[in-house]
Amino acid sequence: MLFKLLLTISIITAATSVQTSYVVAAQTKPKQQQSVTYSCPMHPDFKSKKPGRCPKCGMTLRPDTPAPTPQPSPSPAEATTEKYSFSSLQIPNVRVLDQTGESLDFYSDLIKGRNVAINFIFTTCTTVCPVLTATFRRVQAELEKSQSDVKLISISVDPTVDTPERLRDFAEKFNAGPGWTFVTGDKTEIDSLLQRLGAGGGNKTDPSSMILIGNDPADLWTRTYGLSSPTVIMKVITDTSSRK
């Protein structure tokens, strides 16, 4: 009997020791560090392992580490409206043409002293540009209702193809009203303008979906996602243009 009792105690003690060792090992096992990747809200195909800015549009990269539990994704408008370091002084006064063929100085004739919203399109685009332009038309309708004096500008990223005549036809297709200027011109000048506005160098294979919104008298600039709803874009425009 004594032998069986001692044997039972030994077995229980050994089992307890193994279980305790397993628990301690599990608790002290170092956690694997999750790798964080960053992406651009405007160009989600661009990924980086370090924080910074998108080389295509300059927007701040956002961490896109998956959440531990499924969460609804923020809308593009909530995620991509931001103020950034930009001044009217950076806008070149290059010579451009509008959709009527009139020659204009970009800053002096279209920006100076005004509140503006600028997007970037080209007439042969069949993907994002028609959506951006249709959204701009709805924004213009809202601006007309509110009797706002904000001007809309659409700059072609393909000025070699987009003559004033093509831009005029494109504007008519979307029923663009007065106060909405479509811009083209010499490719070198337009590429320089696009670069200074943070819209790349005229790469039509990767058109920017950014809208640049400016209050020139206050030298206040911001930008937002061009595929947001017209209501959201209107709010950004109103907030920016109301600043003194």
Residue 148 in any domain: the answer is yes
Q: Is 52 exposed, middle or buried (0-12, 13-18, 19+ CB in 10 A)?
A: exposed
Residue 169 in any domain: the answer is yes
Residue 209's domain comprises 91-241
Domain count, the chain: 1
Residue 50 in any domain: the answer is no
Residue 52 in any domain: the answer is no
Structure tokens at 20: 């305790």
d(CA 165, CA 97): 11
Work out the angle between the directed axes of helices 128-145 and 230-241 (0-180°, nearest 10): 60
Gap between the terminal Cα atoms of the chain: 96
Residue 152 in any domain: the answer is yes
d(CA 20, CA 22): 5
Look at residue 51 in the predicted model and tell me its pLDDT.
84
Look at residue 76 in the predicted model and tell me its pLDDT.
45
Cβ within 8 Å of residue 91, ≥6 positions away = 106, 107, 111, 196, 197
CATH number reported for the structural domain that contains residue 234 in this entry:
3.40.30.10
Residue 125 in any domain: the answer is yes
Look at residue 229 in the predicted model and tell me its pLDDT.
94
Residue 15 in any domain: the answer is no
Look at residue 60 in the predicted model and tell me its pLDDT.
66
Residue 82 in any domain: the answer is no
pTM of the predicted model, to two decimals?
Answer: 0.70
Average pLDDT of adjacent 10-residue blocks, the chain of 244 residues: 50 49 46 67 69 69 54 44 78 97 98 98 94 97 95 97 98 97 97 92 75 96 94 96 90
CB count within 10 Å of CB 108 equals 10
